[in-house]
């Protein structure tokens, strides 16, 4: 028999429906009857027939017409919200679906799978799992290891051995032995009591990453979780049934206890869950709607599910992937600004950078050469100022390889740490089936990813810091030789005046956010956990810093494209013209003042989706396959010290 889950005030009610030709109005009245029946005072409702209400879908909040038939507008196990006239929305219901992004809104069930073995997952894979591009399955070898690990734990329980977290309490209660009859309750109590986080929930994408990473760690076969429980977690992931995980509450040792407990709580059928089908609802109803059963915890399984660095690491994986994307796009945006400000390519001469051979510095210099004036990509703008009397550019242009380069190298360093952490067993105690024993250790300590992510925030911030100074140069007519604030009829129009202020505000916020959280530690758990990493905050603020960097660079890209308007009909190089065309596909030139925030957001979206990189990359690759940097500059464009009669030298490298 079809049934529907109806939310009224603070209650979730399952309403069976024998006849789906009944109306939405009938469904609402049936739900109200059940609601009144459960309340001593009838919930303050005197008459079901006289109560006016509206019914809407939980997912998308679309209103349903009371006269529509259920068969026409709902599917079996749909979730609906009934709002009684005069009521405010219950705080128990989450109508805004916090953290649901454009990716989640367009979620489609994936068809491809990633096989997890606990050893080979990358930050890129994890990021794509978060975006909903893949489902999960285990390798046969991983399943074998999980079974072996569980068999050892079952033996320990049968033999009544005293082992931390399996037959004892936790933390300060490690010496308290628990009777076998209470071991299931012990694990359930652990998850419930540790579900003490606060704040907004992680977005579905981030929760999906968190769940996928926890599955990957358990697949290593050193946690003692049963194969049955691990399969249940995979089924929940593949159905996109995602627990309500508050973003705050972890100190990063003993692992991310609070957020991982919330993750496990939903899988137990308690607390809240989200799925594309249901929106936010009680976990037991969400699981049931997808044909799933709550997991039942065996000895040690509660501890196995909540002990580890997976929140720090999953957020860190997103941070490092977005950082890598913005760093290489920052090179493209800065190159476009250099063109608009009539800069030179001489500072990117390979001989300069071979004398200070940091990999990132060399990579950035080569990328600038790939984008700027050369035989391969001639620029009319560069040609127009070839023999001007300026000698060198400001640091914000000339020193891009040095400043952007260290950000690139730092990202590579952090990515290596995050990828190692992704494939590490980080819970406690560890189960070694081949040795027949469990060993307590400290792999749950989050210092590695915490320190790395603090470093990442500091390095990536500099991309915004230098970008904001380039925006200033674009907007300041004394520095740019362009109209003030990049707009005609200045005074009547303010142009990019306040867009630059926004960039300055974001850079200033980043300076505070870049204070490292991992230098702090507060003793917890009655001094049992007397040194912690504060890695959860390191990860969250790194992501905020990166988002600010993306937004500042979006403003610079908008400003640089606007600057080109004042240099027309001259054209820049082919790859930079392609970037200009991409921006103009979503934002028109700034002829007179208009609402600017949507323009910034549209270009920010291009950057997040890496479209700026994707447009320029084929030209970068082709250039670098044909031109190898040598001792001479790729193209001495502006500020030439040669006489006007000297031939223009370009070196084609074999």
Task: Please report where in the chains the tokens 């001495």 appear, as a residue.
Answer: 636
d(CA 22, CA 18): 9
Selecting among 107, 134, 164, 623, the annotated active-site residue is 164
What is the enclosing helix (H) or strand (E) of 4? Answer: strand 3-8
Burial of 305 (0-12, 13-18, 19+ CB in 10 A): buried
Q: H/E/C letters for each residue in 637-653?
A: CCCCCCCCCCCCCCCCC
d(CA 258, CA 275): 21
Strand order, beta sheet including 272-275 = 242-243, 272-275, 279-282
d(CA 57, CA 79): 6
Q: H/E/C letters for each residue in 552-574?
A: HHHHHHHHHHHHHHCCCCCCCCH
From the CB of residue 385, how many other CB atoms can be counted at a distance below 10 Å?
17
The values of phi and psi at residue 437, to 5°, are -150, 165
For residue 84, give the nearest of 93, 73, 97, 71 by alpha carbon.
Answer: 93
Instruction: Please give the DSSP secondary-structure letter assigned to residue 408.
Output: H
CA–centroid distance for 345 within its chain? 35
* Cα torsion angle, 613, 362, 401, 372, sign: negative
Contact in structure between 590 and 486 (CB atoms under 8 Å): yes
Q: Respond yes or no on whether the N-terminal peptide bond of residue 569 is cis (omega within 30° of 0).
A: yes
From the CB of residue 19, how many other CB atoms can be counted at a distance below 10 Å?
11
Contact in structure between 554 and 500 (CB atoms under 8 Å): no
CA atoms within 13 A on the CB side of 486: 29
| Alpha carbon distances (Å) from 445 to 197, 253, 536, 624, 650 | 19, 5, 12, 43, 55
Angle at 145 between CA 143 and CA 151, to 5 degrees: 105
Q: Helices 310-340 and 400-422 sit at what angle, rounded to 10 degrees?
A: 160
CA atoms within 13 A on the CB side of 477: 11
d(CA 448, CA 249): 19
- Greatest alpha-carbon pair distance for the chain in Å reads 98
d(CA 393, CA 344): 7
d(CA 551, CA 511): 15
| Alpha carbon distances (Å) from 519 to 314, 336, 450, 538 | 21, 38, 9, 10
The values of phi and psi at residue 473, to 5°, are -65, -35
164 is an active site residue? yes
| Alpha carbon distances (Å) from 238 to 96, 106, 138 | 24, 16, 12
**Beta strands 437-439 and 430-432: pairing type?**
antiparallel
Catalytic residues, which ones? 164
């Amino acid at each position: 028999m079809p049934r529907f889950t109806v939310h009224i005030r603070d209650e979730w009610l399952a309403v069976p429906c024998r006849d789906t030709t009944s109306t939405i109005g009938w469904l609402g009245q049936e739900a109200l009857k059940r609601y009144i029946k459960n309340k001593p005072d009838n919930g303050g409702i005197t008459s079901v027939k006289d109560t006016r209400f509206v019914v809407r879908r939980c997912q998308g909040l679309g209103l349903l017409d009371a006269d529509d038939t259920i068969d026409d507008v709902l599917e079996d196990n749909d979730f609906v919200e009934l709002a009684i006239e005069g009521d405010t929305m219950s705080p128990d219901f989450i109508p805004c679906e916090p953290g649901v992004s454009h990716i989640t809104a367009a979620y489609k069930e994936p068809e491809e799978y990633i096989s997890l073995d606990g050893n080979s997952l990358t930050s890129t894979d994890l990021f794509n799992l978060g975006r909903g591009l893949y489902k999960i399955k285990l390798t046969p070898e991983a399943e074998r290891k999980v079974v072996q690990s569980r068999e050892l734990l079952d033996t320990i329980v049968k033999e009544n051995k005293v082992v931390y977290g399996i037959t004892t309490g936790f933390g300060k209660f490690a010496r308290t032995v628990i009777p076998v009859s209470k071991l299931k309750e012990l694990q359930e109590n652990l998850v419930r009591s540790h579900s003490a986080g606060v704040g907004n929930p992680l977005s579905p994408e981030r929760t999906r990453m968190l769940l996928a990473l926890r599955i990957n760690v358990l697949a290593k076969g050193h946690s003692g979780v049963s194969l049955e429980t691990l399969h249940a977690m995979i089924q929940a992931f593949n159905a996109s049934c995602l627990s309500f995980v508050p973003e705050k509450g972890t100190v990063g040792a003993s692992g991310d206890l609070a957020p991982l407990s919330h993750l496990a709580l939903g899988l137990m059928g308690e607390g809240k869950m989200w799925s594309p089908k249901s929106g936010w609802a009680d976990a037991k109803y969400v699981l049931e709607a997808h044909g799933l059963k709550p997991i039942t915890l065996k000895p040690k399984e509660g501890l196995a599910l909540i002990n580890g660095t997976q929140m720090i690491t999953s957020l860190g994986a997103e941070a490092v992937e977005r950082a890598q994307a913005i760093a290489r796009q920052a090179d493209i945006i800065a190159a476009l600004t250099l063109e608009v400000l009539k800069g030179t390519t001489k500072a990117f001469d390979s001989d300069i950078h071979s004398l200070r051979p940091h990999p990132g510095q060399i990579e950035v210099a080569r990328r600038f050469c790939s984008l700027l004036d050369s035989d391969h990509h001639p620029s009319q703008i560069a040609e127009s100022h070839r023999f001007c009397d300026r000698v060198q550019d400001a640091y914000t242009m000339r020193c891009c390889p040095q400043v952007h380069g260290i950000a690139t190298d730092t990202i590579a360093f952090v990515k290596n740490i995050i990828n190692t952490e992704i494939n590490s067993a980080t819970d406690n105690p560890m189960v070694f089936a081949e040795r027949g024993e469990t060993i307590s250790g400290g792999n749950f300590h989050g210092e590695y990813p915490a320190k790395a992510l603090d470093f990442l925030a500091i390095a990536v911030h500099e991309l915004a810091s230098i970008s904001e100074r380039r925006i200033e140069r674009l907007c300041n007519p004394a520095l740019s030789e362009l109209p003030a604030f990049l707009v005609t009829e200045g005074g009547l129009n303010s142009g990019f005046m306040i867009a630059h202020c926004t960039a300055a505000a974001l850079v200033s916020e980043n300076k505070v956010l870049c204070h490292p959280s991992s230098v702090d530690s507060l003793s917890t758990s009655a001094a049992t956990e007397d040194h912690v990493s504060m890695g959860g905050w390191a990860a969250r603020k790194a992501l905020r810093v990166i988002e600010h960097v993306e937004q500042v660079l979006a403003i610079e890209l908008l400003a640089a494209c606007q600057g080109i308007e004042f240099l027309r009909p001259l054209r820049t190089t082919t790859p930079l013209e392609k970037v200009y065309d991409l921006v103009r596909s979503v934002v028109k030139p700034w002829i007179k003042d208009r609402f600017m925030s949507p323009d910034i957001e549209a270009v920010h979206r291009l950057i997040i989706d890496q479209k700026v990189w994707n447009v320029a990359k084929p030209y970068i690759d082709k250039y670098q396959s044909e031109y190898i940097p040598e001792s001479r500059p790729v193209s001495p464009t502006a500020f030439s010290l040669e006489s006007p009669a000297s031939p223009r030298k370009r070196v084609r490298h074999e």
